[in-house]
Structure formats: C-alpha cells, structure tokens
Amino acid sequence: MSAPTRLLVLGRQGSGKGTQSCRLAKALGLTHVSTGDLFRREVARGSALGRTVSTYIDKGALVPDDVVIEVVMNQTADLAGWVLDGFPRTVAQGQALVNALGDNGIDLAVELEVPVHQVVRRLSLRRVCDGCGATSVAPTDDDDIRLCNACGGSVARRPDDTVEAIELRLSNYDRMTGPLLIWLDSLGLLVTVDGTGTADEVFDRLHAVIAERLLIGDEIADAPTTG
C-alpha cells in the first residue's frame, strides 16, 4: 500500500486556500482539515475551546501555538492522509508537525500567492452563511444583508473580516508565517502557485504542480474542476 498523502496549503487570508484545499481533498480522496473552520464550529457550540479561541479570532490574532498544535494533533492522529488548511502558521507549529510525523511526513506545502490589494478586496466583499457556512461575494462593501444562495440562511460578514482584523491578520501572515515559508523552503517542501484568477484556473495550476511533484496526476486529472 502506498504512503498516505499529506499536503499543506498556505496563503494570505483571502487567497482562496479554503476553497482550493477542499477541492484538492475531494480530488485526492483526502480529509480536509481547516483549523479556522474547526475553531468557528467550537465558537458556535460555545465549548470551552470555543471560548478560549474566540477572543483571538475575533480580533484577527493568532491562537497560541500550544492550543492549535494540540487540536491539530488530535484531529489528524487517526487520519491516513490529509490536506491541512490554515496550519501550520508559525515555525513552532511547523516544527511540531515535523516532530510528530518524522522527516518524510509532509509531502508538499503549497503557498497560494495573491497580492495584498487583491486579498483585502476579497475579504471586504466576503460574506458567510450562518447556517451552512457557504461563502458568497457581496456586490459592494456596504451590502451586508443577503440570503444564502445555497440554503436561504442569513449571510453576514465574518467577525474577523473587519478592516482592523484584516490588517492584523495580514501583518501576522508576513511576520509569523513568512519565516515558516522560508523554513519549509529550506526543507525542499515549498512550492508557490499563482492564486489569482478564477477558482478553476487556480485549481488547474495546483493540479499541475502537485501532479508533477507527487506523481499522482491521474487521480487529480479525473476530478471535476468545477464547484
């Protein structure tokens, strides 16, 4: 049996890593693990973890490394292969992952590169359904009251998509995730993919890079490129 595939997807907030990680996981038969989604579910449930992380998330700060690392280790412990979306975000998190999995535990880390001005625009127009979690794009920045196309639920701006939180999240990306990217690159694990354009265009680029690096082209090539 071949070893399970383990991929990391990194990128600035608003780079499309959630959408692309989900599509990649489906295409490759892997589990999509998003730390942001997981934390938001815990906040919605009102659990102890949710209460711990909500103060960080709402202002756009990073949840402390020890908390995130424990959550991810528990979530991935029994999974064969996965696409990690939003983890690691710091060198300490990356080192914890490599320590847990061993030197060959991560197959590839892909960074989706989208210029800052484009992600700021995407984040300010992003609206998320309270019910099903589907993401939609508001026609203008002021348009907050819309119904979800998928389920008819109410759609709102994410609490951390305010101007102040966006600024903090983007500066944290440079300050905390920048060194992680350099470290992953030094391990020969990092590839950078242009994240601009349509979701289909970005997925096709990801497909090409991953197929080339991991020699698993057929599995991805058979997957639908829409949705």
Contacts to ligand AMP by CB under 6 A? 13, 35-36, 39, 56-57, 60-63, 68, 86-89, 93, 160, 169
DSSP 6: E
The span from the CA of 172 to the CA of 155, in Å, is 27
- Out of 6, 40, 127, 158, which one is annotated catalytic? 158
Cα distances (angstroms) measured from residue 28 to each of 41, 77, 91, 164:
25, 19, 27, 37
How near is the Cβ of 62 to ligand AMP at its closest, in Å? Answer: 4
User: In the complex with ligand AMP, which residue's Cβ is closer, 16 or 86?
Assistant: 86
Active site residue 126: yes
Active site residue 169: yes
- Out of 6, 89, 127, 205, which one is annotated catalytic? 89
User: In the complex with ligand AMP, which residue's Cβ is closer, 63 or 112?
Assistant: 63
How near is the Cβ of 52 to ligand AMP at its closest, in Å? Answer: 11
Active site residue 17: yes
The span from the CA of 150 to the CA of 207, in Å, is 27
Letter string b/e over residues 138-148, b meaning 16 or more CB atoms within 10 A of that residue's CB: beeeeeeeeeb
Tell me the sheet residues that pair with 135.
Answer: 128
User: In the complex with ligand AMP, which residue's Cβ is closer, 89 or 220?
Assistant: 89
How near is the Cβ of 107 to ligand AMP at its closest, in Å? Answer: 19
How near is the Cβ of 201 to ligand AMP at its closest, in Å? Answer: 22
How near is the Cβ of 61 to ligand AMP at its closest, in Å? Answer: 6
N-terminal to C-terminal alpha carbon distance within the chain: 31
- Out of 41, 59, 122, 126, which one is annotated catalytic? 126
Residue nearest to ligand AMP (CB): 36
| DSSP helix/strand/coil, 104 | coil
Count the alpha carbons within 13 Å of 53 in the hemisphere toward its beta carbon.
27
Question: How many other CB atoms are found less than 10 A from the CB of residue 36?
Answer: 18
- Out of 17, 23, 127, 205, which one is annotated catalytic? 17
Q: In which element (H, E) is residue 84 found?
A: strand 82-85
User: In the complex with ligand AMP, which residue's Cβ is closer, 105 or 152?
Assistant: 105
Query: Catalytic positions, please?
Result: 17, 89, 126, 158, 169
